[in-house]
Every structure is written in structure tokens, then in C-alpha cells.
């Protein structure tokens, strides 16, 4: 069944069906608004969610009908101002985001939860401080440690709750990050496939990606 963008907007907010282990009653997020978002990649819907237990806000970009029994492309994308907006080649975030949008556009359905946890959760200012240490030779993990932060301060439970709230259950996850896969499973979503995101590494990102693979366990092939 095909739904127009209009009827999808109208349907947004309806309770999900399906038999995912995760139940709506335990949700710690709420949807605040949904709207159409035409992009260079295609027509999407955008929804804003807020956390009921913190100040955190989330955005989800999605398209097509969200059905629990239909394996659907999903991605949890962590905000990277430098990569997503400025086209930084220190990391692979921007190309990953756009590749995920293209895959979803091609498939005709899918969802990207945009998690506003910049710099693996340390915030943009601290990320710039970490970059400054990296200019002096530290790698991405050492820089966070020198600044006294956890190597990775992110959690993904609420992102998984948003995907459930959209009505999804069986998911094809676009990710190289085992922590994100684990979080989706723990939240009761059924992972039917992992779609690796292999972005051709720019020279500046090669060392960063190597560190992500070796120190953070990301599933990247070189
Ligand atoms: Zn990045």
C-alpha cells in the first residue's frame, strides 16, 4: 500500500502495531511535530522528538510506510557539525549521512534518527579542543582521554525507542558501530541485516577511521 506524504503526516503519531519486545508504555521520548522535508536526495518527512527524562532533542528523517513486519533501512546518525555541515574530511560522517539518505531514497522507505550528541557526546566545544590535541599528534581516542572524557559518551536507547515509535520492528541497520547494533537489539528491535557503510577514506580521515576500527571496534574494512 502506498501512502501519500500527506496521509503519512496524518498517520504520524498512531500507535505502532507488531510484536516487538519493546513496549510503548516504557517510552522515554515523545514526538512533538512532523512535517514534510523535500531534500536534494528526495522527499522525506522530518519529525522532532524530545526526551522525557533529559533536555535532549532528536530528529528523525524518514520516508515510506513504517511497518513492523517489513524489514526497513534504519540508521542512528550521531551529529557531527564539522562533517555533516562543513564537509570536514577529518571523519566520514557527512558522506555516511548522505549515503544513508540515498539508500533510503532508493529503497523508498527507511528512517535516520539524528542524535544530537556531537563529538561522541562531549559537545562541539570539547570536540574542537580534542581536534586541537589531534593537531599535536593525539588520535581521536587519546584526545578524549586527555580531556578527561569517556572515549564514547553516547547512549542509543532513546534512538531505538524512536524507531519503535515510528512503528518499526524488523530493521536493516546501516551502521559500522557494534554499540548501535547492540542498543537496537536491547530495545527489542529485530535486526535482520546490517548494511555496512564503506566510505572511501580521504587521506585526512584514514588515521581516524583506523583508530575507530582498532580502538572502538567499528566494523570497517580497509
Ligand atoms: Zn564526524
Give me the pLDDT at residue 222, please.
62
Asked if 152 is an active-site residue, the reply is yes
**Is residue 38 domain-shared with residue 130, that is, in the same domain?**
no
**Is residue 76 domain-shared with residue 169, that is, in the same domain?**
yes
Answer yes or no: is 194 within a domain.
yes
**Is residue 79 domain-shared with residue 26, that is, in the same domain?**
yes
Kindly report the three-state secondary structure assignment for every residue of 115-177: ECCHHHHCCHHHHHHHHHHHHCCCCHHHHHHHCCCCCCCCCCHHHHHHHHHCCCCEEEEECCC
**Is residue 40 domain-shared with residue 105, that is, in the same domain?**
yes
Ligand 1 centre and the CA of 185: distance in Å?
Answer: 24
Give me the pLDDT at residue 21, please.
59
Give me the pLDDT at residue 2, please.
47
Q: Considering only 16-20, 41-45, 51-55, 213-217, which range has the smallest mean pLDDT?
A: 16-20
Catalytically annotated residue among 84, 92, 152, 165: 152
Ligand 1 centre and the CA of 205: distance in Å?
Answer: 9
Give me the domain span that covers residue 132. 122-150
Q: Considering only 176-180, 202-206, 217-221, which range has the smallest mean pLDDT?
A: 202-206
**Is residue 193 domain-shared with residue 112, that is, in the same domain?**
yes
Q: Up-side HSE of residue 206: CA atoms within 13 Å toward CB?
A: 4
Q: Tell me the three cell numbers of residue 221.
A: 574494512
**Is residue 186 domain-shared with residue 104, that is, in the same domain?**
yes
Answer yes or no: is 4 within a domain.
no
Average pLDDT over residues 172-194: 91
Judged against a pLDDT cut of 60, whether residue 3 lies above it is answered with: no
Average pLDDT, the chain: 85
Judged against a pLDDT cut of 60, whether residue 24 lies above it is answered with: no
Give me the pLDDT at residue 16, please.
43
Q: Tell me the three cell numbers of residue 96.
A: 555516511
**Is residue 89 domain-shared with residue 70, that is, in the same domain?**
yes
**Is residue 164 domain-shared with residue 134, that is, in the same domain?**
no
Give me the pLDDT at residue 6, please.
52
Q: What is the pTM of this model?
A: 0.82
Answer yes or no: is 25 within a domain.
yes
**Is residue 146 domain-shared with residue 196, that is, in the same domain?**
no
Higher pLDDT residue, 222 or 31? 31
Ligand 1 centre and the CA of 13: distance in Å?
Answer: 31
- CB distance 111 to 72 below 8 Å: yes
Count the domains in the chain.
Answer: 2
**Is residue 84 domain-shared with residue 178, that is, in the same domain?**
yes
Judged against a pLDDT cut of 90, whether residue 172 lies above it is answered with: yes
Ligand 1 centre and the CA of 16: distance in Å?
Answer: 32
Amino acid at each position: 500500500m502506498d501512502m501519500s506524504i500527506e496521509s503519512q503526516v496524518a498517520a504520524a503519531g498512531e500507535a505502532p502495531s507488531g510484536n516487538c519486545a519493546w513496549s510503548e508504555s516504557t517510552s522515554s521520548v515523545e514526538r512533538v511535530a512532523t512535517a514534510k522535508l523535500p531534500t536534494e536526495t528526495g522527499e522525506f518527512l522530518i519529525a522532532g522528538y524530545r526526551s522525557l527524562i533529559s533536555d535532549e532533542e532528536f530528529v528523525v528523517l524518514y520516508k515510506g510506510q513504517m511497518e513492523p513486519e517489513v524489514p526497513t533501512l534504519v540508521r542512528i546518525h550521531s551529529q557531527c557539525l564539522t562533517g555533516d555541515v562543513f564537509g570536514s574530511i577529518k571523519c566520514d560522517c557527512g558522506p555516511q549521512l548522505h549515503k544513508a539518505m540515498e539508500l533510503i531514497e532508493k529503497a523508498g522507505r527507511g528512517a535516520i534518527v539524528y542524535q544530537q550528541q556531537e563529538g561522541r557526546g562531549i559537545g562541539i566545544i570539547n570536540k574542537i579542543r580534542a581536534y586541537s590535541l589531534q593537531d599535536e599528534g593525539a588520535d581521536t581516542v587519546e584526545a578524549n582521554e586527555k580531556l578527561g572524557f569517556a572515549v564514547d559518551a553516547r547512549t542509543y536507547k532513546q534512538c531505538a525507542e524512536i524507531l519503535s515509535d515510528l512503528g518499526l520492528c524488523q530493521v536493516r541497520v546501516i551502521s559500522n558501530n557494534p554499540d548501535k547494533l547492540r542498543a537496537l537489539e536491547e530495545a527489542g528491535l529485530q535486526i535482520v541485516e546490517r548494511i555496512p557503510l564503506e566510505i572511501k577514506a580521504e587521506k585526512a580521515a584514514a588515521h581516524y577511521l583506523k583508530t575507530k576500527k582498532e580502538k572502538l571496534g567499528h566494523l570497517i574494512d580497509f
